[in-house]
Chains A and B, each alone.
Chain A
């Protein structure tokens, strides 16, 4: 990001700091940027609850996202490709998917706890649900919108069904799949923090960290936690964006 683009953000922070210092914004409602920075420092060094440092929270949250997301992508992409390819399979599965899809991932938390107990598996399951549908639907759509002439070209070269699936439909749908992967990761990340509000067993997780800070009235650490969550989400998305640019250079 260029310095110029950072200017508005800097202006807002300065104004915010000025308002807080002048006493217009009460610190117990919204701490000033400097207090948030101090809160961030405490999160990193002391931890919240004490001894549970920020790095540990971030690590556990990322681990849950990683597994839920990986499984979601691993199931949604192959399923999406065969659903995009086979009208029959699509007709069979589509009604089920359209029934389940509108249920918000968070509404699954009680049943997830019943199935998996409180812990990483539950959280990963919730993330799986959040990421799964955008990846699936974008994959199906990607396969559907491939120029049929490319499939015909492969057929005239005597391609097997397997070749068409793996070497024509998969790469052809990839731009759309990537859109799904990015949306899915965003939703997965959002879902995770909310899921951690309901409790974690290890005592680690960014959502859990924020809730603990709230319990002991540390708004500076709440906001610092929010900033960290936003920054991690932004960084992951930027990374995926970069990966997309490299992998989809052919477009």
Chain B
């Protein structure tokens, strides 16, 4: 299948009061189609910045960014982003939040509503179609945010700590939920998390970032069969390695 998303020598500086703040030093990363890749790293190392660059919300200072060999510039329909803060439109009902991407693409209402209903069914949101975001629980909002991104059919889905604000029970549920829909669709997913546990449970590969200005320190392949046992010796071994790597860089 070869490389799907390709980051080469990506750097990012933010203009600051006293000079420039280098955030991303030199990022090289290749992601194959259909892989679920996690990014972990210390707080403030630029994970969100990297996702925002790939999503086209921000531009890289230097470097090269390609999807299926074509350069990525600006917001691109092939790239979808799920925001950590959900970023649902509060004035839209659940169903209209899900199908907004199709509305933007000009899909007629009857068709996009039908598509949204499919998502509502498979995401377990039946009965809430006409609720406003403020009436939904955190886990539901997160599912709506994911559905809103997936329905537009991007080739790669970026997720920024999507489950960070959920309690551990709904977090585990959402992880299994994500694995289930991913198993059906085989999207390429780039997943930012603070939680090494979560990264080991979900990912095919885990890229560990160093402190700012950051580069990728090491990439771990996780070839455990799914469904995974969170406490298997192999999972523990990978987790230990990642944690010690993160620990080293912090001191």
Where the two chains meet, the residues of A that have a C-beta atom closer than 8 Å to any C-beta of B are 147, 149-150, 152-160, 163, 167-168, 171-172, 174, 249-251
Contact = CB atoms under 8 A, between A and B. Distances in A.
Contact of A159 (B81, B88, B91, B104): B104
22 contacts: A150-B89, A152-B57, A152-B83, A153-B89, A155-B57, A155-B75, A156-B55, A156-B56, A156-B75, A156-B79, A156-B81, A157-B101, A157-B148, A157-B149, A157-B152, A158-B75, A158-B77, A158-B104, A171-B91, A172-B91, A174-B91, A250-B132
- Most chain B beta-carbon contacts within 10 A, residue among A152, A158, A159, A160: A158
A149 B91 contact: no
A250 B91 contact: yes
B114 interface: no
A160 B77 CA distance: 12
Specify which of A157, A167, A168, A172 lies most central, judged by the most chain B CB atoms within 10 Å of its CB: A157
B47 to A, nearest CB: 17
B57 A156 contact: yes
Contacts of A157: 80, 100-101, 104, 148-149, 152
Contacts of B152: 157-158
Interface of B: 55-57, 75-77, 79-81, 83, 85, 87-92, 100-101, 103-105, 132-134, 148-149, 152
Contacts of A155: 56-57, 75
Contacts of B76: 158
A250 B134 contact: yes
Query: Interface on chain A toward B: helix, strand, loop, or mixed SS?
Result: helix
Nearest to B81: A156
A156 B91 CA distance: 19
A168 B104 CA distance: 12
B134 A251 contact: yes
A160 B92 CA distance: 18
Nearest to B75: A155
Contacts of B103: 167
Nearest to A170: B91
Contacts of A159: 104
B87 A150 contact: yes
Given A150-B87, A172-B89, A174-B91, 5 more contacts: A147-B87, A152-B83, A157-B101, A157-B152, A172-B91
Contacts of A158: 75-77, 101, 104-105, 152
